[in-house]
Copies of this chain bind each other. A is one copy, B any other.
C-alpha cells in the first residue's frame, strides 16, 4: 500500500493536527484519493495507483486554517476534496501527502433573496432542499451529480451543467457571488473573493487556495417536468434542441440531445419509452410552461416519449430524474453498460454550431455517438459536445480529437489531468499569479497547473504534459 512520502515527516504533521480528524487506513485513504478519473482509459492508466498518505477532515474554517498551517510547516502536499465526483483527476493527490476532505463542512449559513451562503462541503441537493424550504429558491446551476457533489467541488472543478441553457456557466460573471479562501502560508490568510477576483480560484482545482465557503445566486425553484422527445435522426433532434434553447419565454432548465442508439442502449430505466433508432432530447421544463412547450413540440414534430407530469406512478417507478441522463451522467450510464467506451468534451461555437454538428456527425457515425448540451455561451445559444467514444486506441482517440479541432470544435480534453490541457491550453495568468501569492511552496494539488510546474511548457507542441512529481505509490 502507500509508502510514506520521504519529503516530509508524516508523524510530526499528524502531531501538529492535534484534534483535527484524520484517517490513515490505506484502503480508506485510497478511496478518498480517487474521483471519476476512470471515465478516461488514459487517466486510468496514468493515475490508477495514485493515493495520499492521510485524509484530514476539518470540521470548521478554523480547523482548515490549522491544517493548512501544519501542512505548510511540514511541506505536506495538500489536495482538497469535496465528494470526488470530478472526471479529470481534479481531486487526486499526484504527490501523495494529505487529502483535505471538506465533506464535514456542510452548513448552509445564510439564505436571502437571490443568494445562499454555504460551506464548501455542502451537497448541492441539500442546499436546494434548504433554499426551497426557506423561500422557494434553488441554485441556478448544478452538475448531473446533483445528489452527491459538493458546492465547493463544483466551483473548483466544474464548469456548468443543468441550468447553463439559461444562465451560462460558472465562469460567467454573476454565477458565483463570493468565495472564501484559505491561503497556504505560514500564517494562512482568509480572503473573501468577489467580482473579477473570483476567477483566481474558480475552476482552479484547489491549486491556489482552499475554498471553505461560497455565496451563490439563487433563482426561483420549480417542480421541473422531465420530458423525453424522440426524433428519427440526430441532426433533426439537434435542430429541435437549438430552437427550444432560443425560446426565451419558454423556461427550460436542461436541453440535452443524445444520438441513437445511446438513449435506448444506455438509458436502461427509460429504455421502454425509446426505440433503438431514436435520437432523444432530454429536457427539464418549468411546469407552468408545459402547455406552451407541448404546442412548440407539436409544431416541431417532436414525438413526446415521456413526460413526468402525465406519466403514471407505474411508469415513473424506478426512473432516475432526467438530469441523471445528461452531462457526465450520459457517459456514466454508457460505462455501466459497456466499460470499453469513453468520451470527449467539445464546444460547437455559435453561430454555425448546427452546421458543425452535422459535419461532425457525418465524419464519425457510430464510432462517436454525439451527445449535445445546449447552453448560453457569451450571450449566444451554443452547444457543448460530450460524445460517447467507442474506444479503440489512444492514438485513434487523438485522431478523433484532431478531427474535432480541425472542424472548428475545440476539445476540452478529459483525458488530461492538468488545468491547461483540459481547458484553454494556455497559461491562466490570473490563477498562476494567485498561486504565487497564496501557495508559495506549491503544496496545493501538485501537478495540476502546468504553468506553475513547468513555466517553459509549450502548449503548441501537442505533447502531453506529464507531471514529474507524480508519485505512483506501491
Binding site for B on A (CB under 8 A): 112-115, 135-137, 140, 166-169, 172-175, 177-178, 194-196, 217-220, 222-223, 245-251, 286-289, 291-296, 299, 351, 376, 378-381
A381 pairs with B381, CB closer than 8 A:
no
A174 pairs with B289, CB closer than 8 A:
yes
A168-B217 contact in complex given A113-B223, A196-B295, C-beta closer than 8 Å? no
Jot down 21 A-B pairs with beta carbons below 8 A, ordered by A: A113-B222, A114-B288, A135-B136, A136-B136, A137-B220, A166-B248, A167-B248, A168-B248, A173-B249, A173-B293, A174-B247, A174-B250, A174-B289, A175-B249, A177-B288, A178-B291, A194-B291, A195-B292, A220-B220, A246-B378, A248-B379
A245 to B135, CA, bound (A): 27
Min Cβ gap A383→B in Å is 13
Choose from B114, B287, B289, B378 the contact partner of A286 (Cβ within 8 Å).
B114
A113 to B167, CA, bound (A): 20
A175 to B250, CA, bound (A): 7
A194 to B112, CA, bound (A): 35
Q: A217-B251, A218-B220, A379-B381 are in contact. List 9 more A-B contacts (CB 8 A).
A: A112-B288, A113-B288, A114-B289, A166-B248, A174-B249, A174-B250, A174-B292, A177-B292, A217-B286
A175 to B218, CA, bound (A): 21
A173 pairs with B250, CB closer than 8 A:
yes
A115 to B251, CA, bound (A): 12
A288 pairs with B245, CB closer than 8 A:
no
Q: Which residues from chain B contact A218 at a C-beta distance below 8 Å? A: 220
Q: Which residue of B lies closest to A285 (CB)?
A: B174
Q: Which residues from chain B contact A288 at a C-beta distance below 8 Å? A: 112-115, 177, 217
Min Cβ gap A164→B in Å is 8
- Interchain residue pairs A-B with the least CB separation, the first 3: A246-B379, A195-B295, A168-B248
A174 to B378, CA, bound (A): 24
A177 to B288, CA, bound (A): 8
A388 to B113, CA, bound (A): 37
